[in-house]
Each structure stands twice: as C-alpha cells, then as structure tokens.
Amino acid sequence: MVDAENNQRMQGAFHQDPQVLAPPPPLLMKLVVGGAILFAIGVLAGVIIFQQMLRPGQQQRVINSLPFMAAFLPSRPDPGDTVPTPLPRSLSVITVEDLWSSKEEPSPLPTTTATGTAIIALPTVAPTLTAPVALTATPEFVATAIPISTAMPESIEAPPAVWPERPVAARLNGFTPVQQTWNNCGPATMTMALSYFGWTGTQEIAASFLKPEPEDKNVTPPEMVALVNEQTDVRAVTRAGGTLELVKTLIARGFPIIISIGFMPEGEDWLGHYRLIVGYDDARQAVFAYDSYLGTGDSLQGMVISYEQLEADWRPFNQNFISLYRPSQESEIRELLGDLVDPAAAAVHALDKAREESRENPRDGFAWFNMGTALVALERYEEAAVAYDEARRAGLPWRMLWYQFGPYEAYFNTGRYDDVLSLVQVNLNNGGAYVEETYYWQGRVYAAQGQMQDAEQAFRNALQANARYTAAQQALATLSGA
C-alpha cells in the first residue's frame, strides 16, 4: 500500500514537469544526426586521402602536426620480417664450400659494368653531367655548381714532406652541422662533408642533384661521388672493403670520410644511413661522428661511437666508404688507399673478409650478402647468386633492397628472371616504388623476355623516380633504337 502511494506521488511529480520526458524537436535531431554523419564521412575521407593519396613525405608532415595520424599509416612489414627466401630451383653446381675457396689475385676491371653498376675510379678530369631523358614530369630543382675555396681549412696544416706515425687521436674541425630533412640523409651528410672544404651549399642544393624526386628512398655512394666530382672543385672516391685502420689514417691525414651503415633508431625498423666520421681516439676506443639524424654530440665534438659499434654498423654495407680530397691531393689519397685504389682489389679484399665471417657464422646473412656483392663487382655472377641465396636463407632486413641491388644483377645475369621479378614485387609492396633501381631491373627482365612495351614503361618509371639515372636512360635509348 505504501509502495502504491509512493508510485502515485512519483508519477504525479513527473506529470508536473512535462519537459523531463519530452522528446527533442525533430529539426534538432536531424541536425545532430546529420552533423554526426557528415563528421564521420569527413573523418573517413580524410583517412582515405591520408593513406592513398598523400606521398610518404606529405604523410610525415601531417603526422608531425597530428601525431595520432600515425595509426592510419598503411601497413608495413613487421620489424622481424626479412627478404624472402629464394624460389625453388635446381641445385647449382657451385657449393658453399666453393665460395670458401682460397684467396685469389684480382684481374683488371672496367670502371663501369655493362649492367649499370658504377665502379668509381679516382677521377682524373671532371666528368660531364649527363642530361636526363625528357619526361612528362621534370625535376623540381636544378642543381648548380658552387665553387670551392682552394685554401686549406684553418684547422689543418699543410702536409709535411714525410708523414709521422699515425697519432693515437685526431680530430677534424670546420664542419657545418646539418640536420636532415625528410628522407635526406645522403644530401645532408655530403653537405656537412663538403662544408669542411668551404662549400656554402645547402642540403636542398645537394638533393636537387642527388634525388630530383624528393621521395627517392636511396642515394647510392656512386651518386654521392658524382655530386662531388661533377658539381664542385673537390674530388671524391668510393670503395668497398674499408677498415677501421684506414678510417683513422684518413682522418689523421686530414681527409673526411663518410661510411654507409645500417642501424635501428629508437622506434624504427632497420634503416640504411650515412655517417660522417670527424675524429677518433684510441684511448677511448671510439670515433667521433656527425650524424644528420642523431646529431653532432656535445659542443659539436661529434657523437662518440665505439670502435666495436662502428664495425657492427658498417658491416651490412660491405665496409663501403667515401673519401673526399682536393685535386692536388690525389697522389696522397692514392698512397693512403694502397691496393684499394683498384676497384677489383677492393672487391677481393671485401670478398676475403666476407668469406672469413661466413665461415665463423654460416647463419650470418650480412656476411653472405657482402660476399655476393663482392662477387658481383668481380662479375662472377654464378657464385654471387649462390652467396645471395645463402644470405636470403639466413635472413636479411626487409629494407635491404632499398639500398643494395647486387641480387638483381646476379640473378639477371644467371637467367633467374623469376627471382628478379619476385624481389622487385616485394620491394614495390614495401616502399620500393621510390627506388629507381627496382624498376630498372624489372625493365631488364621484361626486355630479355621480349616484352618491350612493359620494359619501356619500367625504364620510364625508373626515370620518374630519378631523372638522372643513367642506366635507365641508356636502356631506354637502346629500346628506342632497336
């Protein structure tokens, strides 16, 4: 009875305030629902545009302003993903034991291979810049040569007639630090190196030559050397098979050196990178480096990197290095490089090191990959293909073919076209659409198979990624003249 009376009082209270249960006006409901739908459509459209229409650099700029947009990036391989293993095929007559055979003396090689891989010799005269093939899209920037002061940097004295024994520590000064912009470590690092010689250019000027397409994922050492030799009064040389002792000797004698490294910055997958070495200290067992991504250390003294860490970072790129010098210093740089002046001898040196490392650890993918790269430089493609097979079985970072293209060359020259196209497709799926070499080797296979229209399109795609890519220019010219 009490409950019934309470219910009646509560109902009366509700009846006395009719607004409590009154529905909202129909127009307001329509506006709210419509606004919500429009908002959802706008968000969805924004995500689609972000994912499918923006280029990687544009996506990064959006993320810099709206960090939560990183959640909508297109999926990419997991950090542990690797380059796929070789396709099934008949066993090669070449065995792993054959690859571990004894050392041999190198035979002379041309300075450029027939397949477009440059073997840079010490320049004797300034080469002429090759004009790019005309395309529907022209490069955004035009590179201009900036003269270099011929005066020695204040921090380096003129070389003595007889050099003393290498000091236990040395440092070069006079570099201008450069923080790289998006995807720009090559131009930024070379800009820092050239600043030692008085170059006043910027990384944007360097990038306009090195990567006319800003999204280009990779600038190769030969391209870096070409910038120096063709656009400045300084000279540069690149070789594989460098050593820590050579790095220290070059620094002690006043020559900046850039090394190619692989590393995993915090929160990122494995990446290829360039690093400028500016000093060393045997007592600390460390080098000092300017890094366009990580910085220049305390008081611009350089990041401190242990000898052990330098060796580990350098190894995935076959101990490749670039050394800069003045034309008047060519005889001196030849003396310091020793046998590495000869590209073939440098390749044999790298081959011997890779053999030793692969014997010590047959599951070392980098050792096998370096062996393959050295064998490609020596034009021993059958052996190189077997070495690359072993590297792929051992496991390689999924970005490896953004930076090094020996597997394409080895498989192509042994008729393993399916392997080439398989790696091309993997690269295209994983960001390699901005790596011109990916399309170039795709075009080479198409041309070899008689698919001339597809080959032409592939070469044009390569030139869209880099209009100065001479190998694609030449391949396209050959197709046009056929």
Domain boundaries, the chain: 34-75, 109-124+139-149+163-341
Per-residue model confidence (pLDDT) at position 147: 37
Domain 109-124+139-149+163-341 is in which class?
alpha beta
Per-residue model confidence (pLDDT) at position 134: 29
Per-residue model confidence (pLDDT) at position 146: 36
Cα angle value 159/164/169 (rounded, 5°): 90
The pTM of this model reads: 0.77
Question: What are the two backbone dihedrals, phi and then psi, of residue 303, each rounded to the nearest 5 degrees?
Answer: -65, 140
Give me the average pLDDT of each 10-residue run along the chain (482 residues): 50 50 71 78 67 56 61 57 66 74 54 43 38 29 34 38 77 95 94 96 95 91 96 96 96 97 84 96 97 92 96 96 96 94 94 95 96 96 95 93 96 96 92 92 96 96 93 92 68
Rounded CA gap, 222 and 237, in Å? 8
Q: Output the CA–CA distances (angstroms, integers) from residue 396 to 274, 364, 473, 476, in the order listed.
A: 19, 9, 30, 32
Rounded CA gap, 417 and 235, in Å? 38
Q: Provide CB contacts within 8 A for 310, sequence distance 6+.
A: 244, 247, 259, 287
Rounded CA gap, 475 and 444, in Å? 8
Q: Output the CA–CA distances (angstroms, integers) from residue 46 to 54, 67, 74, 400, in the order listed.
A: 10, 15, 14, 32
Q: 312 near 367, Cβ under 8 Å?
A: no
Q: Output the CA–CA distances (angstroms, integers) from residue 250 to 105, 189, 191, 240, 245, in the order listed.
A: 25, 18, 19, 15, 9
Encoded tokens for 448: 């070899």
DSSP H helices, 361-435, are 365-377, 381-394, 400-403, 406-413, 417-429
Per-residue model confidence (pLDDT) at position 436: 95
